[in-house]
Structure 1
Amino acid sequence: MVTVYSNGPFTTRPEIRGTFGCAAATHWLAAATAMRILERGGNAFDAAVAAGFALQVVEPHLNGPAGEVPILFYDARSGKAEGICGQGVTPAAATPERFRELGLDMVPGTGHLAACVPGAFSAWLLLLRDHGTLRLRDVLEPAIAFAGGGFPLTLRVARTIESMRGLFESEWTDSAAVYFPHGRAPEAGALFRNPALAATYRRIVDESEGGSREAELGKAERLWYEGFVAEAIDRASRLAVLDSSGRRHAGLLTADDLARWRASYDAPVSRDYNGVTVLKCGAWTQGPAFLQWLGLLEGFPLGDLDPLGDEFVHLVTETGKLALADRDAWLGDGDAPLDALLDPAYIAQRRALVTAASSAEFRPGAPGGREPAAIPLREAVGKAPAGAGEPTFQAALGEPTFQAGGIAEAALAAHVERREGDTCHICVTDRHGNMVAATPSGGWLQASPVIPELGFGLSTRTQMFWLTPGLPSSLAPGKRPRTTLTPTLVLRDGLPYLGFGTPGGDQQEQWSMAFLLRVLHHGYGLQQAIDAPAFHTSHLIASFWPRDFKPRSLTVEGRFSPEVIAALDRRGHDVTVAGDWTLGRLCAVGRETAEGAPILRSAANPRGMQDYAVGR
């Protein structure tokens, strides 16, 4: 039974509906770029690629050209749903022993030591080559125009840049040259340009043109992974730069590492739930935990519960703690026991641990009888932060405030404090029946110095690894980090029904789960489910430094009623009330059938006033 509650239909914006094409993204310029490509005859894959490159320019604090991207999509021509792994691997020289030789017991969160092979460029080109229709110039043209001609900065980008002033001017001077043109910080709303980045992409287009479309894309990929881009990255990586250990280190990434790697197809993992099939990326992401979580929830009458009530929030949170504990104990690039983790008997066993009270324990299970390795548990002091995202380190005046294993991770010459970085999302669907959901991230402007001849810095995704041996995400050469990036694709009757995702680090699956449950069980529309009050727990081992564990923590938006918040407190949750519109940045597209014809849908998060959905 589906019940639409009286407070469910409220939305801040209309849900976009059309028959030609729809897109949603974490920046309006990316959504507009996707729609522009659809209007000129491209399909959803062309549009997603163009929007992905545009996001690298207009949200440089959230992703960059050297970042990474997992992609899920449905191709109507083949009738298949597939995934692409755009997560680059660790350098050949990246071993725990190497980091310990440097006196480190944790991978620094910034600088050159944490660099992986850039994955996004190859992933976008793979999607374009095999499923798109346009040429490389067509899909890179908007990004080149934004970088070369300029785009208006959002407030968040401007604030991030200003917060980096001390570090950029004293240490990362090549970054200062890009982000402080004429010695001044750009203001919100002002036109910002990155001529070096525009020149990089323009050179790739110019030097790859000629011959077939496939040959052109092959040339472009070689320019990146074996040509001038790889050479510039190799030279930059050899430079010692100040990182979040408080010391200067050269990187480990080389041109050979780039030459050996390309993006690849990655079969999605799936689970049937409440009349749909939910697809996630593999164990190199946190995606399989989402599927286990759905299995845990199958045993509860969610459709009978108020989706804004304490019982709903409690059950979602407590089952989530179990799924995310198994994420921490079992998921990684290697021998993850996915079949055992998703086995109905194992899930039923785990479901029985849920009670009416909030658990304070970290409780990974033993799938298939395998006992989990001991994971360092660092219990945090104090409440969870009201906001959440992917931690990076941004320059700010003040003394270092964090210690980890004797290393002042937030030192950076007494100029750095821990701030929250984040991620992007783009999803597109078209009249042909195609759908794409992708979550780009990494290469943040605040994470690594700009390489002057390229206009961007490196990703620091190696920070996801443990130097502790014997864990699924223990560091090893040529290994993919277990990333938090996790788009979702949902099929109904074998056809694309929903594509969605959100920034947010460890919170991505949590905000996505509440969204999906409210759509499937309570009849919420896409915009209604995005706008509904969000919540999450930090009762997990944080994927980023300092890897805190916050038992019983529960952060809720202030729009939950006082009665619900009080009831959650009585259940034993350590409740933090965040601002009314502060949690989650979901974007979504959908398809449904009305009178035998497809209706396309899209919606985007109003929080932060920059995510937008478009369509016609």
Structure 2
Amino acid sequence: MAPRGYDRIGPRGAVSSTHHLGTAAAAAVLADGGNAFDAAVACGFVLQVVEPHLCGPGGELPAVFVTAGDPTPKVLCAQGTAPAAATIERLRGEGCEIVPGTGLLPATVPGAWDGWLTLLRDHGTRELADVLAPALGYAAGGFPLVPRVPLALGQVADHFRTHWTSSAATWLPGGRVPAPGEIVRLPALAATWQRLLDAATGPTREARIDAARDAWYRGFVAEEIGRFAATPVRDETGHDHAGLLTADDLAGWSAHYEDALVADAGDGWSVAKCGPWSQGPVLLQQLRLLSGVDVEMPGGVATADTVHAAAEAAKLAFADREAWYGDPFPGEPVPMAALLADGYTDARRALIGPTSDGTLRPGSPGGVAPRLGAYASTPGAARSGGTSGPGTGEPTVGRDGVVRGDTVHVDVVDAAGNMVSVTPSGGWLQSSPTIPSLGFCLGTRGQMFWLEAGLPSSLAPGRMPRTTLSPSLALRDGEPAVAFGTPGGDQQDQWQLCFLLAMMHAGLDLQSAIDAPTWHSTAFPGSFAPRGWEPHGLVVESRLGADTLAELARRGHEIDDAGAWALGRMCAVGNGVAVPGGGGPGAFHAAADPRSGVAAAVAL
């Protein structure tokens, strides 16, 4: 283990995010008297600028939160839906076996703008211009590139120059890949934001925010998106395809609220997640499966028994994700209560054997047979064809353990009792061409749909893709305690599990729990093109110890040692009443993962 980290602790609130400039913007809002929602929105917009390879204005977000007046966890869903023209038959007719991971065909309605503005309108206190100002300043005046942006640009530069010339004009100054730390400006995006602010007029703060929402979804932004999406561009199939998204798709959509899904995690802890349109419930299923296992984490380092049990629990939970999770259409409910029921959990836990199981084993809640598509249930399908060309899917964590990015995260808590966890993503600069008149690109979340009918995540017009985005909020004895989350695609709810186990079973504070050695399974179908899986794959950090890795290999896991500090980009904030070693009432904690090198946590 490396030297132990310590939480940042302050009396007024706390912020953690995946980039220090986002954290600084949020902390400044809190210091100026804004609340947690004002701060989170300011941070979210900054992250769209300074981590453009991980999220953008054309992306989406889910949030889990409580307010000062209501400690019951709620969810804001700002995941956009598939266009009205997006049918299985249409994409099959384009020659697609799976939805491409790049280009315009996988674009869904961009939900981030409406999501952030809805949170600000309903739960914040500040004007839109105030919380957008830091991001607008960076876009117009310039910001330094973190090292992974040039790395991502280097991988797609030739494609930009040849096929996505608007992206080349935005991201390749003078035709070259910019250097790490180089100052880059985004004048077209700044102009778009300024035009939206100019449209934000009305007699009240809420009316002004709604006017800005309308300018995006029923105004000039929607019109430009529809116009651009109609022009064919090269995608990873190696062919040119036009998108399916239209201005009418945007006009009929808005973010919405729903109750959080809450499940018992043992020892007075419970966890609140988004519903099965996200992968969030897999964390709850893993926690429930492990509640009957003797979890051993001396000093925060999991034993071979614990890692094995957790990996096998992940396989079972993610198999259920594949068979059961999705946007619940009318007549197609997701049996979430049955998936979390004691009897079902007990029966599934009994399937955890002494060695690695290499099969995809979804359960049958209520005796109903699971639904698996042919592509998902074939481990080698991703290697047998379907995609080629510029990149594949989300630029996420590979089996080699190298973190190439994929999304961002922000957590904020304030002294009044507001607490919010948000995982924005999508609109990656390398996944879809820049819309030159707007200065940002569309998201590609539609790649998470299957082009097989009858599945819970089959493509259908107006349906949300089953997203991997998975913010979290933990409660202790029913009281909001910790907001946390991480980027990482399919790994999000496995790295969060590692964090929770270290906090709940080893008694570590937030920073120490983040720093604890981490692992994840790859033995289930991936959510991003080309959507493959490895039946016994287990990616680990070497700090688990050579003896532990040897024992896991003996049990049949195919070990990929990613290095000492490689897995995760966790963020967390909490209150001192519930955080281990917390300091009691009035102490607010923040912690951030050192693995990325750019995350930051501040308490004030």
Q: Same fold (TM over 0.5)?
A: yes
Q: Specify the alignment match of 1:518 in structure 2.
A: 502
Q: 1:10, 1:528 within 8 Å by CA — same for their partners in 2?
A: no
Q: 2:15, 2:23 within 8 Å by CA — same for their partners in 1?
A: yes
Q: List per-residue Cα deviations over 1:477-518 (Å, max 9, x = no partner).
A: 000000000011011233220111111111110000010011
In 2, Cα distance between equivalents of 1:142 and 1:419: 26
Secondary structure in structure 2 of the residue aligned to 1:588: strand
Secondary structure in structure 2 of the residue aligned to 1:126: helix
Q: 2:45, 2:135 within 8 Å by CA — same for their partners in 1?
A: yes
In 2, Cα distance between equivalents of 1:273 and 1:124: 30
* Alpha-carbon shift at residue 183 of structure 1 (Å): 2.5
Q: Specify the alignment match of 2:25 in structure 1.
A: 33
Q: List per-residue Cα deviations over 1:296-321 (Å, max 9, x = no partner).
A: 11111225767421111111111111
Distance 1:246 1:171, change over 3 A: same
Aligned ranges 1:435-450 → 2 under 5 Å: 435-450=419-434
Structure 1 stretch displaced more, 521-530 or 477-486? 521-530
Q: Are residues 1:288 and 2:257 paired?
A: no
Secondary structure in structure 2 of the residue aligned to 1:164: helix
* Alpha-carbon shift at residue 595 of structure 1 (Å): 7.2
Q: Are residues 1:108 and 2:100 paired?
A: yes
What is the aligned counterpart of 1:189 among 168, 181, 202?
181
AA paired with 1:248? D
Q: Specify the alignment match of 2:598 in structure 1.
A: 610
Distance 1:224 1:346, change over 3 A: same
* Alpha-carbon shift at residue 419 of structure 1 (Å): 5.3
* Alpha-carbon shift at residue 41 of structure 1 (Å): 1.1
Q: Are residues 1:309 and 2:303 paired?
A: yes
Q: Are residues 1:373 and 2:371 paired?
A: yes
Aligned length: 584
In 2, Cα distance between equivalents of 1:566 and 1:302: 19
In 1, Cα distance between equivalents of 2:554 and 2:468: 31
Aligned ranges 1:109-258 → 2 under 5 Å: 109-258=101-250
In 2, Cα distance between equivalents of 1:47 and 1:189: 26
Q: Specify the alignment match of 1:297 in structure 2.
A: 290
AA paired with 1:285? S
Q: Specify the alignment match of 2:338 in structure 1.
A: 340
Structure 2 gaps, min length 5 = 397-404
In 1, Cα distance between equivalents of 2:534 and 2:228: 38
Secondary structure in structure 2 of the residue aligned to 1:187: coil
What is the aligned counterpart of 2:458 among 474, 480, 483?
474
Q: 2:393, 2:447 within 8 Å by CA — same for their partners in 1?
A: no
Distance 1:157 1:115, change over 3 A: same
In 1, Cα distance between equivalents of 2:426 and 2:157: 20
Secondary structure in structure 1 of the residue aligned to 2:199: helix
In 2, Cα distance between equivalents of 1:588 and 1:265: 23
Q: Are residues 1:271 and 2:263 paired?
A: yes
Secondary structure in structure 1 of the residue aligned to 2:245: coil
Q: Specify the alignment match of 2:401 in structure 1.
A: none
Q: Are residues 1:61 and 2:53 paired?
A: yes
In 2, Cα distance between equivalents of 1:419 and 1:454: 23
Secondary structure in structure 2 of the residue aligned to 1:603: strand
Secondary structure in structure 2 of the residue aligned to 1:551: coil
In 2, Cα distance between equivalents of 1:557 and 1:346: 32
In 1, Cα distance between equivalents of 2:373 and 2:95: 21
What is the aligned counterpart of 1:491 among 475, 479, 494?
475
* Alpha-carbon shift at residue 266 of structure 1 (Å): 2.0
Secondary structure in structure 2 of the residue aligned to 1:496: strand
* Alpha-carbon shift at residue 103 of structure 1 (Å): 1.7
Q: List per-residue Cα deviations over 1:163-219 (Å, max 9, x = no partner).
A: 221011111001111101233322111111100111111111122134200100110
Aligned ranges 1:370-449 → 2 under 5 Å: 370-376=368-374, 377-380=377-380, 405=385, 407=386, 409-412=387-390, 420=396, 421-449=405-433
Q: 1:73, 1:83 within 8 Å by CA — same for their partners in 2?
A: yes
AA paired with 1:475? L
In 2, Cα distance between equivalents of 1:161 and 1:322: 37
In 2, Cα distance between equivalents of 1:319 and 1:419: 26
Aligned ranges 1:573-612 → 2 under 5 Å: 573-593=557-577, 597-612=585-600
Q: Are residues 1:82 and 2:74 paired?
A: yes
In 2, Cα distance between equivalents of 1:147 and 1:239: 27
Q: 2:407, 2:423 within 8 Å by CA — same for their partners in 1?
A: yes
* Alpha-carbon shift at residue 553 of structure 1 (Å): 1.1
AA paired with 1:411? G
What is the aligned counterpart of 1:562 among 526, 540, 546?
546
Q: Specify the alignment match of 1:546 in structure 2.
A: 530
AA paired with 2:451? L
Q: 1:411, 1:417 within 8 Å by CA — same for their partners in 2?
A: no
What is the aligned-residue identity percentage? 49
Q: 2:6, 2:509 within 8 Å by CA — same for their partners in 1?
A: no
* Alpha-carbon shift at residue 533 of structure 1 (Å): 1.2
* Alpha-carbon shift at residue 571 of structure 1 (Å): 1.3
* Alpha-carbon shift at residue 403 of structure 1 (Å): 5.8
Secondary structure in structure 1 of the residue aligned to 2:598: coil
In 2, Cα distance between equivalents of 1:450 and 1:374: 35
AA paired with 2:175? G
Distance 1:607 1:304, change over 3 A: closer
In 1, Cα distance between equivalents of 2:81 and 2:431: 18
In 2, Cα distance between equivalents of 1:573 and 1:597: 44
Secondary structure in structure 2 of the residue aligned to 1:498: strand
Q: 1:603, 1:613 within 8 Å by CA — same for their partners in 2?
A: yes
In 1, Cα distance between equivalents of 2:224 and 2:76: 26
In 1, Cα distance between equivalents of 2:322 and 2:591: 31
Q: 1:307, 1:313 within 8 Å by CA — same for their partners in 2?
A: no
Q: 2:392, 2:529 within 8 Å by CA — same for their partners in 1?
A: no
AA paired with 1:574? E
Distance 1:564 1:79, change over 3 A: closer
Secondary structure in structure 1 of the residue aligned to 2:100: coil
In 2, Cα distance between equivalents of 1:595 and 1:47: 24
Structure 1 runs of 4+ aligned residues shifted over 4 Å read: 303-306, 402-405, 415-419
TM-score, structure 2 normalization: 0.94
AA paired with 1:378? T
Structure 1 stretch displaced more, 66-75 or 565-574? 565-574
What RMSD, in angstroms, separates the aligned Cα atoms of the two structures? 1.7
Q: Specify the alignment match of 1:322 in structure 2.
A: 316
Distance 1:200 1:598, change over 3 A: same
* Alpha-carbon shift at residue 276 of structure 1 (Å): 1.6
* Alpha-carbon shift at residue 417 of structure 1 (Å): 10
Secondary structure in structure 1 of the residue aligned to 2:66: strand
Q: 1:317, 1:536 within 8 Å by CA — same for their partners in 2?
A: yes
